[in-house]
Chains A and B, each alone.
Chain A
């Protein structure tokens, strides 16, 4: 894991030995995010759970573009999961209130997530299909 140190000169207080320092937090609140092309989504946090709420699957294009490129996407997901492990938080993506993807400190790579190059993100295929057909 990225936070672990096997070499010399670690950041003091950041990683000690081979044990990742955790900083468990609770997060509360709601953020509204609007892209300049009008795309809009809400980030809600309640305790140890953070949810990104998209009105439709297609409204997440701004976010999806951030994840373009398989290897960079997987690297970004590993970083996010490392931060979730440090803070003991979970992250899920919801489309119209339905959870379609989930990432937690315990999440592991599955056949489906490997297929899409999504690292340890747990996909919910039925909910994803519903989200796709909701648009058409």
Chain B
């Protein structure tokens, strides 16, 4: 990384720069990934468990294709 990355958007931008530079893609594969999300919008909301399965690829769009 070329600078100190402090936030998720900064990390995303850094990764994007790498992607566009190398025309690469990122693949994520999830097998029973458990995430805990607030059951509703309040500070003392209980956490609900979600499970994620599947695969996703994120590719920097080739801007030269118009």
List chain A positions with a Cβ less than 8 A from chain B. 11-14, 21, 23-37, 43, 45, 48, 62, 65-69, 72-73, 88
**Does B21 have its Cβ within 8 Å of any Cβ on chain A?**
no
Bound: A41/B36 CA distance, A: 16
Mark interface residues in B41-66 (1 if CB within 8 Å of A CB, else 0).
11000001111111111111101000
List chain B positions with a Cβ less than 8 A from chain A. 3, 6-7, 9-10, 12-14, 16, 28, 30, 37-42, 48-61, 63
Bound: A32/B30 CA distance, A: 9
Bound: A48/B62 CA distance, A: 12
Known A11-B9, A45-B56, A65-B39; judge A23-B16 contact (CB<8 A).
Answer: yes
A75 to chain B, nearest CB (A): 10
